[in-house]
Amino acid sequence: MSAWAAVLDDVRRRGGTPAQVATRLGLSISLVQAVLDHAQRLGVVALASGGCASGCPAGPQMPQACAGCPISLP
Amino acid sequence: MSCHSPVSAPVVARRGIQTRTPLPARLRVLLVGGPNVGKSTLFNALTGARQHTTNAPGTTVELANGTWRTTAQVKADTAIERALVDLPGTYSLLARSSDEQVTADAVHELAQSSGQVGQRGVVVVVLDATALARSLYLLGQVAETGVPLVVALTMLDLAGTVTDSPTATMQPQTLAAVLAASLDVPVVPVDSRGRAAGGLGALARAVDAVAVAKHPKRVAGILPPDTAVLDIAGELAHAERLFEWVAHVTAQVAMGLAPDGEPPAGSGQPPHRPVATFSDRVDTVLLNTWAGIPVFLAVVWLLFELTTRFAAPLQAYVSQLVNGPLSSVVTSALGLLGLGNSWVQGLLVDGVLVGVGTVLTFLPVMAVMFTALGVLEDCGYLARAAFVADRAMRSLGLDGRALLPLVIGFGCNLPGLAATRTLPHARQRLLTGLLIPLTSCSARLTVYVLLAGTFFPHHAGTVIFALYLTSVALVLGGGLVLRQTAFRDVHTEPLILVLPSYQRPHLRTLGMSVQMRLGAFVTGAGKIIVATMLVLWVLMALPATGQHSVGHVPVADSVYGRAASDIAPLLAPAGFGNDHAAAALMTGLVAKEVVVGSFAQSYAVADPGSRTSAKSLGEALRGTFDESSGGHGGAAALAFMVFVLAYTPCVATLAVQKRLFGWRPTAAALLGQLATAWVLAVLVFQVGSRL
Amino acid sequence: MTLPESPLGAELRVTGVRLAAADAFRLNEMGVRLGTLTHVTQHAAFGARVIAVAGSRFAIDGKTASLIDVEPVHRLR
C-alpha cells in the first residue's frame, strides 16, 4: 500500500494527530504532514486548526473535527 | 493520451550532446519553497541591498525583487545579472490562499514561457533538510510543470535534530550528493544563513548551466501531467503517484546512507520502549507536583518585571516627547493662527493631544505584554500553565476549562466574556462571566504602572505582581463563595488537553501577531480614549455655576469637578478621598486606559502654569495622595490600585454582560464589584497606614 | 488498574473508558480508545496524568484519569 493510501486509511480508521499516524505507520512526520496537507487541499480530509490548548473556536467557524468535543457549541 | 504512468523507478536522465543557448541578458530566477525554509535569508544573501518590493500583478501580495549579480567565470570583469524574485512561501502548488496562488501562477507562467527564445527562466526550489518529504512533495509539483529548476538544500545544520528522518545521521555534503543522484538535477547545499561563498557560487553556476542548456534535465521520475484539469478521481490517482515518488526518493536517500545491515531510520515498527523526548524532560520539572506551580508563578512574575523595568524607560521617553516638543509645536502653531489661549487650544492640547499621548505612552507596555504572551503560547508553555492551574481551580469548584476565558480576561475582559461561550452549560458560563471582571486586564496595568512607579519606584514590578496575585485570589475566592451559595448546581467537566511539543517561537509570526494586537489596541481602545478625553475636557470646561465662562473655569467649579467632589467623601476611608482620584475613577468606568489620562488632564487643567514642566504628574500624585491620606500616600496608592482592580472594568464590559446574561445578573454584579472594591480598598489602607 | 495507579514509563494498553458518552467520543477522536497503546510520561498533582499516545502528549485531570482503565503490556522476548 502506498504512503498516500496508508495515511488516509489510518486516519479514517483510527483518527489522531499527524504524529500518531507517523508513529503507527513507521513514516516520517514530514511525509504524513505532506499527505494530509494535500488531502486537505483536495477536500477529502478536514484537519482541526490549532491545538485544543490554544482556544476553542465555537459557532459557524468551528472546525468539523471539533464536532465531538464536549465543550464545542454549535 | 494515457494518464500518468505509475512511478516505480526513477526515469534515467537523457544524456547526449546538449547545445547551449546564450544566457539571457537578465535571466529570471524564481525562489520557491515552503514557509520558514530559509528562502528569504537566501534571497537577501544573493541580492544584498539590490532589492525592492512590488505587488504581484492584480493582487495585494507583496513580492521581493532583486538583482543577483555574480562575476562571469570566463571573463572576470564581466558581471552576470539575474532578476531574482522571492515568491511567497507555500507547501503546495495546489493553492488555497492568495499568496500561494501568486506562487503557483508565477511557476506556471515561467514554465509556459521558458520554451520561447530569450524567455528562459529558472526556478530554484528550496528544500528543507529537516522536513525532506514535505519539501520533496512541493519539488515534485514544480517539476511536473516542466520548468527548468535547480535545488537549493537548506537547514542542513539542523537536520541532525530530526529523529524520525534519514537525514538525522548524515553529513550535509553526503545528503546533497545522494539527493542529486536520486533526482538527477543539480542540488546545491546552502548554509542556514545563506552564507558560504562556495555554496552561493555553486548555486549561480548551477542556475546558469540550466539556463543555457538546450534541454535542461528533468527531475527523475516526474512526468508532466497530460492535462491541467483533473476530476477528483484523477486528482486522487495523481496524488498517489506523486507520494509514491516522494516515498521512493526518501527511501533512496535512506538506503544510500544507512550502514550495511541496518534498516534505514524512520522505517519499521514503532519502538517498544517509550522514548523520552526533550519536551518530556522539560515537563518533568514544569509539571512536577511540587515545582509546577512555583515555576508558573515565577513565569508570571518575570512577565511583569519585563513590563515595568523594560518598558518604563520607553514610556517616559514617549511621554516627554508628547508633553514637551509636540505640545509646544501645536501651541505655537495655534498662536500663529490667532487661536492662542482660546478654547480651541484647550480642546486640541488638553483634549486631543493628551488622549493621543496617553495611547502612545502605553504602546511599549502593551508591546512587551503581547510579545511575552505570544512567546509563552508559541513555545508551548501556555497549555502547561492551563494544566497546572486546573487542579487549583477544580479544588475551588471552578471548571478547569473556565481557565481559558479567565486567562483571556487578563488581556481584556471583553474577549474573556465572549470566550465563556466555550463552556458547555449556561450556569457555568454565568459563573465564569461573573468572575471575569475580577481578572486584572491589561488596561488596568496602565494605572498600576503609573502608581507603582510613582510610589514604589524600586519595587514596582513586585507590587504589580502582588496585584495580579490579588486578582487571582479574588477570582478563586469569588468562585468558591459563589459555588457554595448561588451556584451549588454547577458540575465540572473532564479536562483533556493536547500538549504541544516545546518549540522555538516563530519570530515572524510572533511579530505579526504583536503588530496586529497593537493595531487593535490603538484603533479600538485608542478611539474610545481620545473621544473620552474630549468629553472630559468638555465637562471640565463647562462651569457648574454662572461665575465662569466656558473654557476658563477651575476644575473644582466645573461640571466634572462637582461630580467628583460629591463622590470623594465616600472614598476617604480608603485614603484617596480627593477630587482627582474620584474623577479618575469616574472616567475609569468608560475605559481603564483613560484613568491615567484623566489624572494628567485634571492636574494640567487645575494648574495650567504647571504644564510647562515645573511639576510632573508623579509629583502631583504624591502630593495629593499624601494630603488625602494624612501622610500615608503609599498605602493610599495601594488602596487605589486595589479599588481599580476590583471595581467595574468598563461600561463595555457591562454591555457585554447584559447581552450574555441579562440585566439582573449584570446589575447585581455591578453592585457587588463596587462594594467589593470599596471594602478591599478600605481594608488595605487601614492596615497599610498602620504598618 | 487505572491511569493514576500506573507506573511511570511502563507500556500500557487501554482496556476501559468509563466516561460519559460525549467525553469518551472526544478521547476516541484523539486516538485514545480500547486497545490503544500508551504510557504515562508525567505524574502531576492530585492524580492528574500526562500520557503519550503514538508521539502525542495528552494532559488529563485526575478524576478523568481514574476513569480510564489500563493493563500492562507484556512482550515476548
* DSSP per-residue codes, B114-171: TTSTT--EEEEEEEEGGGHHHHHHHHHHHHHTT--EEEEEE-GGGGGG-TTSGGGGS-
Q: Inform me whether the C-beta atom of residue B380 falls under 8 Å from chain C C-beta atoms.
A: no
Q: Which three cell numbers stand for residue B177?
A: 550528493
Complex ipTM, two decimals?
0.92
Of B179-193, B440-454, B662-676, the one with minimum mean pLDDT is B179-193
Does pLDDT of B608 surpass 90? no
The tens place of each residue's pLDDT in chain A, 74 residues long, gives: 788 999 998 888 777 778 778 888 888 888 888 999 999 888 887 765 444 444 445 555 555 545 544 444 44
Task: Give the tens place of pLDDT for each residue, B620-647.
Answer: 889 999 999 999 999 999 999 999 999 9
pLDDT tens for each residue of B482-534: 888 888 877 666 777 778 778 788 787 778 777 877 776 677 667 766 777 78
Quote the number of domains for chain C: 1
pLDDT of residue A49: 45
C-alpha cell of B133?
518529504
> Are residues B598 and B539 in contact, defined by beta-carbon separation less than 8 angstroms?
no
DSSP chain A: --HHHHHHHHHHHH---HHHHHHHHT--HHHHHHHHHHHHHHTS-----S-GGG----GGG--GGGTT-TT---
Instruction: Please report where in the chains the cell 516522494 appears, as a residue.
Output: B246
Residues of C in contact with B383 (CB under 8 A): 59
Mean pLDDT of B26-50: 84
Instruction: Decide if C30 is inside a domain.
Output: yes
Question: What average pLDDT does the segment B568-583 reach?
Answer: 91
- Measured distance CA(B420)–CA(B657) in Å, rounded: 11
Q: State pTM to two decimals.
A: 0.54
Q: Please, which pLDDT band fits residue B466 given cuts at 50, 70 and 90?
A: very high
At B520 the pLDDT is 67
Q: Which CATH number fits domain A3-66: 1.10.1240, 1.10.1200, 1.10.10, 1.10.1060?
A: 1.10.10
Q: What is the mean pLDDT of residues B368-378?
A: 76
Angle between helices B311-321 and B442-455 (to 10 degrees): 90
DSSP B91-114: S-SS--SHHHHHHHHHHHHHHHHT
> Hey, which residues 110-149 in chain B have their CB within 8 Å of chain A?
130-137
Specify the pLDDT at position B687: 95
Q: Cα(B330)–Cα(B348) distance, rounded to whole angstroms?
A: 8
Check residue B625 and give its pLDDT. 93
Higher pLDDT, B122 or B400: B122
Can you give B43-71 as a three-state secondary structure string?
Answer: HHHHHCCCEEEEECCCCCCEEEEEEEEEE
CATH number for the domain including C58? 2.30.30.90
CB proximity under 8 Å: A 28-47 to B = 28-31, 33-35, 37-39, 41-44
Select from B380, A50, A13 the least CA-distant residue to C29: A13
For residue B411, give the C-alpha cell.
Answer: 488581556
Q: How many CB pairs under 8 A join B and C?
A: 83
Confidence tier at B2 by pLDDT (50, 70, 90): very low
Say if B461 is an interface residue toward chain C (CB within 8 Å): no
pLDDT at B604 over 60: yes
What amino acid occupies position B554? P
For residue range B415-437, list pLDDT tens digits in order: 677 667 656 567 778 888 999 99
Question: B558 by DSSP, 3-state: which?
Answer: strand
Q: Which domains does chain B have, with CATH numbers?
A: 27-253 (3.40.50.300), 292-688 (no CATH)
For residues B87 and B106, what is the distance between their CA atoms, to the nearest angstrom? 8
> Looking at the predicted structure, is the pLDDT value of residue B686 above 90?
yes
* Residue appearing with cell numbers 497530460: B226
Give every CB contact of residue B551 below 8 A, 6+ residues apart in sequence.
Answer: B342, B343, B346, B541
**Under an 8 A CB cutoff, do A69 and C55 touch?**
no
- From the list A2, A54, A56, the residue facing B422 with the nearest CB is A56
Round to whole Å and give the CA distance between B7 and B220.
10
The percent of residues above 90 in pLDDT, for chain B, comes to: 18
Cell of B600: 494628567
User: Are C56 and A22 an interchain contact pair (Cβ–Cβ within 8 Å)?
Assistant: no
A59 Cβ under 8 Å from any chain B Cβ: yes
Range in B248-252, B273-277, B302-306, B498-502 the model is least confident about: B273-277
Collapsing DSSP to helix, strand or coil, A50 comes out as coil
Q: Is the pLDDT of residue B615 over 60?
A: no
More confident residue, B134 or B614: B134
Could you identify the residue written with the cell 525562489?
B31
Domain that holds residue C12: 3-72
- Subunits adjacent to chain A (3 or more Cβ pairs under 8 Å): B, C
Fill in the DSSP letter of residue B549.
Answer: B
Starting at the edge strand found earlier in the chain, the sheet holding B149-154 runs B51-55, B62-71, B79-86, B27-33, B121-128, B149-154, B187-189
Please provide the average confidence, as pLDDT, over all residues in chain B.
Answer: 78
* B31-45, B81-95, B387-401, B484-498: range with lowest mean pLDDT: B387-401
Query: Counting Cβ atoms within 10 Å, is residue B67 exposed (0-12), middle (13-18) or buried (19+)?
Result: middle
What pLDDT is recorded for position B652? 72
Q: What is the least distance, in Å, from the CA of C60 to any CA of chain B?
A: 5
In a domain, C77, yes or no: no
Q: pLDDT tier at B267 (50, 70, 90 boundaries)?
A: very low
Run of H or E including C41? strand C37-43
Q: What is the 3-state secondary structure (H, E, C) of B242-256?
A: HHHHHHHHHHHHHHC
Give the tens place of pLDDT for each residue, B202-232. 888 899 888 888 778 888 888 776 666 677 8
* Set of chain C residues whose Cβ sits within 8 Å of the Cβ of A29: 55
Q: Using one digit for the tens of pLDDT, what is the confidence trace for B63-102?
A: 788 888 876 655 555 667 889 999 988 888 988 788 888 9
Inspect the interface and report whether the beta carbons of C23 and B280 lie closer than 8 Å. no
Lowest mean pLDDT among A3-7, B165-169, B246-250: B165-169
**pLDDT on residue B355:** 75
Q: Do C46 and B395 touch (CB under 8 A)?
A: yes
Task: Please tell me the predicted confidence (pLDDT) of residue B572.
Answer: 93
Among the partner-chain residues A26, A51, A70, the one whose CB lies closest to the CB of B424 is A70
Q: What is the dihedral of CA B483, B484, B486, B488, to 10 degrees?
A: 70
Determine contact: A20 vs chain B, CB below 8 A. Answer: no
Q: Looking at chain C, how many residues does it have?
A: 77
Q: Give backbone dihedrals phi and psi of B226, rounded to 5 degrees, phi first.
A: -70, -30
Rounded-to-integer distance, Cα B361 and Cα B355, Å: 10
CA–CA dist B671, B676 (Å, integer): 8
Contact B192, B159 (CB under 8 A): no
Chain B segment 477-516 residues within 8 A of C by beta carbon are 493-499, 501
DSSP B296: H
Note the pLDDT of residue B614: 38
Report how many Cβ contacts below 8 Å link chain A to chain C. 41
Contact B425, B396 (CB under 8 A): no
Please say if the pLDDT value at position B12 is more than 60.
no
Min Cα–Cα distance to chain A from C33, Å = 9
Instruction: Flag if C23 and B270 touch (Cβ within 8 Å).
Output: no
| pLDDT at position B257 | 54
B383 near C CB under 8 A: yes
- Grid cell listed for B555: 476644575
Beta strand pairing call for B121-128 and B51-55: unpaired
Which of these ranges, B60-74, B144-158, C39-53, has the smallest mean pLDDT? B60-74
What is the rounded average pLDDT of the residues B50-59? Answer: 73
Nearest CA in chain B to C19: B494
